[in-house]
């Protein structure tokens, strides 16, 4: 077991875990967005509610979800450790070439990450917690289905409140900045950078950093301005 503790306590080990968990979380963001876009399908939430039922009851998805919570915690805790270590590191001066990058990353990534964590706590409290652990969400019945929770209705209530709409859109801006730097830097840490593919990796990272937050932000904006 000692290699695991050694790995976690080494600076490169922590960065590798940060990169791997970060890349996993980006995959989650893609899948989550595709599922959530059903919220604006114009079918009164039928497809979305049936999808949410599947996602919360399927044993395989439940198992993957536990992995997801572990990844979120690891990413947040190790990010904080790296930030604090960088802050207190004395005598290790970054080279002129990576000085600006190190400064930007250690200062802003930690702040952006903390804001995203705050968003996640509020977000999961509103949807995930209510869905899984309370009976506050009304039931709905579809042809050939037992009554299931109408999560679509909960989303409607949330995005009826302009404060939620503004805070979601702001959080997606924060997420965009976090991804803009995070994707390329994750690949670099893993040593998966090759002069031939660097531009492509950078391009994919920047594309995701723009498309994902816009895709998510469209949902509260659509609810508030079009569906009300």
Window contacting ligand HEM (CB under 6 A); options: 8-16, 94-102, 121-129, 199-207:
121-129
Q: Which tokens is 9 given?
A: 């306590």
Give the nearer residue to ligand HEM in terms of CB position, either 69 or 197: 69
Shortest distance (Å) from residue 54 CB to ligand HEM? 9
Among 131, 137, 174, 209, binds ligand HEM (CB under 6 A): 131
Q: Which tokens is 191 given?
A: 């040593």
Shortest distance (Å) from residue 96 CB to ligand HEM? 35
Q: Which tokens is 171 given?
A: 């959080």
Please say whether the beta carbons of 131 and 158 come within 8 A: no
Shortest distance (Å) from residue 132 CB to ligand HEM? 6
User: Pick from 52, 14, 19: which is nearest to 36 by CA?
Assistant: 52
Residues 81-110 within binding reach of ligand HEM (CB under 6 A)? none
List own/partner pairs for 90-98 with CB under 8 A and 24 or more apart. Answer: none
Q: Which tokens is 202 given?
A: 């950078």
Distance between the two ends of the chain, CA-based, in angstroms? 56
Give the nearer residue to ligand HEM in terms of CB position, either 82 or 131: 131
Residues that bind ligand HEM (CB under 6 A): 32, 36, 39, 52, 55-56, 65, 68, 116, 120, 123-124, 127-128, 131, 151, 155, 168, 175, 216, 219-220
């Amino acid at each position: 077991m000692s290699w695991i503790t050694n790995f976690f306590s080494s600076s490169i080990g922590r960065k590798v875990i940060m990169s791997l968990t970060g890349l996993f979380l980006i995959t989650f963001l893609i899948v989550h967005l595709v599922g959530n876009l059903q919220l604006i399908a114009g079918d009164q939430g039928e497809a979305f509610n049936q999808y949410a039922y599947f996602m919360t009851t399927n044993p395989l998805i439940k198992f993957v979800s536990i992995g997801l919570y572990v990844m979120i915690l690891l990413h947040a805790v190790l990010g904080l450790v790296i930030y604090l270590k960088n802050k207190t590191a004395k005598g290790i001066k970054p080279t002129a070439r990576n000085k600006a990058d190190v400064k930007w990353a250690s200062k802003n990534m930690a702040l952006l990450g903390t804001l995203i964590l705050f968003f996640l706590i509020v977000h999961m409290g509103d949807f995930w917690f209510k869905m899984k652990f309370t009976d506050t969400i009304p039931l709905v019945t579809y042809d050939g289905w037992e009554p299931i929770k109408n999560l679509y209705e909960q989303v409607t209530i949330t995005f009826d409140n302009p404060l939620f709409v503004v805070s979601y859109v702001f959080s997606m801006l924060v997420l965009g900045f976090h991804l803009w730097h995070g994707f390329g830097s994750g690949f670099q840490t893993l040593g998966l950078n090759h002069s031939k593919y660097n531009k492509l990796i950078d391009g994919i990272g920047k594309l995701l950093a723009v498309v994902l937050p816009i895709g998510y932000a469209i949902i509260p904006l659509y609810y508030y301005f079009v569906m009300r």
